[in-house]
Amino acid sequence: MEHNSVIEQMRQLIQLIAKHNHAYYVMDQPSISDSEYDHLFHQLKALEQQHPEFIQADTPTNKVGGQALSKFESVTHTVPMLSLNNVFEEDELLAFANRVEERLPNQKIQYDVELKFDGLAISLWYENGVLIRGVTRGDGETGEDITQNVKTIRNLPKILSSNDYPIPRLLEVRGEVLMPKAGFNNLNRHLKKRGEKEFANPRNAAAGSLRQLDSQITKNRPLAFYAYGVAQCIPDNNIGTISGNLDWLKHFGFENYDHWVVDNIQHAQKKYEQLIAERPNLSVEIDGMVIKVNSLEQQKQLGFISRAPRWAVAYKFPAESKTTEIRQIDWQVGRTGILTPVARLVPIFVGGTTISNATLHNIGEIHRLDVRIGDKVEVYRTGDVGVTMNSSISSRTQLDFQMAV
């Protein structure tokens, strides 16, 4: 058997096993039976035993990682990982589009629309098709080297191969690591059975899993990676749009979830409204959508302001809300010695977080608003940090809560 044919067989089996691993561990939706999976695995192992000289670096028959790290090393990003400005209303979105159009007069502008995942942004470096480094976003200028951990993510290609395009000498891919809903629920079921603490939401679970010093722990967590862009490509792939680059990455085994190209900002608004309705049925947690000028040349013309690009914006979803009940009011002593009343709520899962406590600020506020045990409250999550509860107390009054830490 020629060595090219052996390697090709190995690559096909590795990619097929990775696909089935992702379906089973991450999505909790097995795509083949256990016996069929075992057959593929043993087929690969037998091929490796016959031809050990051709064993691939990303083979699932090898254990990933060695000794646990004592700490993560810092890495400076060659291309900074900047943040996006947020908009929350249609008027703010239209204002963003107007600024773009003013800087690009008489030009046709298309927008690439993507899901805004509730995960962690990372950067992946490939040299001659081999994954050599994975780095967290950090502060945008400097991140942490999490290479051993990203190598355990089942749907992330460790060696690039394509029948359609040449492998770049250097490729830096940006994307999001997250834990899909099914994998998150499955993980919490297992943690509960073992009497261990469950994760509050998929983002916390993904962050905690990705930043384990022992990559063997990360390996057992149902993480997934979705690409959202190319930061560097040498030689240049000569693709001039965001959407084109996302489609190009698919040829090398990257997943990038759904994205859409729209001809004007009004179509982006319609997609936003559609996603709000579809959000509960998606397999992943999202907190909005990202809108980018699709043309890379136009992006260069627009440039940056402060630490954010002028050519992109995050359009955040309105707060998700649910109703619960105050079942008790306790007092807790803060770090400064001040007593603060805290409402104990019937636990409610909202916006990816389970809420069971809310501060009532002070005794004067309780008397002013006539807060009582048994009152109904509307709980909602706003933004990426913390939870706000703009709560209707029965039919008597309105009360603003902050989550009690």
Residue-wise DSSP of 101-167: HHHSTT----EEEEEEESSEEEEEEEETTEEEEEEE-TTSSEEEB-HHHHTT-TTS-SB---SSSPP
Q: What's domain 320-402's architecture?
A: Beta Barrel (2.40)
Mean pLDDT of 312-335: 84
The pLDDT value recorded for residue 118 is: 86
Mean pLDDT of 61-72: 65
The radius of gyration of the chain's CA atoms, rounded to the nearest angstrom, is 24
CA angle, 28 then 352 then 195, to 5°: 65
* Domain ranges (residues) in the chain: 3-54, 74-316, 320-402
- Residue 116 is a catalytic residue: yes
Mean pLDDT of 115-119: 92
Distance in angstroms (rounded) separating the CA atoms of residues 22 and 79: 30
Q: Which H, E and C letters describe 14-35, residue by residue?
A: HHHHHHHHHHHHHCCCCCCCHH
Q: Do 74-316 and 320-402 fold alike per CATH?
A: no
> pLDDT (tens digit, 9 = 90+) per residue, 220-240?
999 999 999 999 999 999 999
Q: Which two structure tokens, joined as six digits, stand for 297?
A: 């040349």
Identify which of 138, 40, 157, 111 has the alpha carbon closest to the alpha carbon of residue 293.
111
Mean pLDDT of 84-112: 96
> pLDDT (tens digit, 9 = 90+) per residue, 130-181?
999 999 998 899 999 999 999 999 999 999 988 899 999 999 999 999 999 9
Contacts of 64 (CB under 8 A, 6+ apart): 148, 151, 152, 215, 216, 219
pLDDT over 50 (residue 385): no
Residue-wise DSSP of 65-89: --SPPSSPPEEE-SS------EE-S
Q: What is the SS3 assignment for 62? A: coil
The pLDDT value recorded for residue 109 is: 97
404 secondary structure, DSSP code: -
The DSSP H or E segment spanning 177 is strand 170-178
Distance in angstroms (rounded) separating the CA atoms of residues 285 and 291: 18
- Cα of first residue to Cα of last residue in the chain, in angstroms, is 63
- The pLDDT-based confidence of 390 (bands split at 50, 70, 90) is very low
pLDDT over 90 (residue 339): no
The DSSP H or E segment spanning 264 is none
The DSSP H or E segment spanning 61 is none
> How many C-beta atoms lie closer than 10 Å to residue 393's C-beta?
17
Q: Are 21 and 59 in contact (CB under 8 A)?
A: no
Q: What is the SS3 assignment for 38? A: helix
Identify which of 401, 397, 343, 328 has the alpha carbon closest to the alpha carbon of residue 369.
397
Contacts of 31 (CB under 8 A, 6+ apart): 19, 20, 23, 24
Average per-residue pLDDT for the chain:
85
Identify which of 207, 146, 227, 219 has the alpha carbon closest to the alpha carbon of residue 352.
207
Q: For the domain covering 74-316, report its CATH number.
A: 3.30.470.30
Question: 19, 63, 71, 116: which one is catalytic?
Answer: 116
- Residue with the bigger pLDDT between 241 and 58: it is 241
Identify which of 182, 186, 219, 181 has the alpha carbon closest to the alpha carbon of residue 203.
181
The pLDDT value recorded for residue 6 is: 86
Identify which of 154, 97, 92, 156 has the alpha carbon closest to the alpha carbon of residue 123.
156
Q: E strands, 240-384, where? A: 259-262, 286-293, 304-305, 308-309, 312-316, 320-333, 339-350, 353-359, 376-381
The whole-model pTM stands at: 0.77
CATH superfamily, region 3-54? Helix hairpin bin (1.10.287.610)
Percent of the chain clearing pLDDT 70 (strictly above)? 88
Largest CA distance in the chain: 84
Mean pLDDT of 25-35: 73
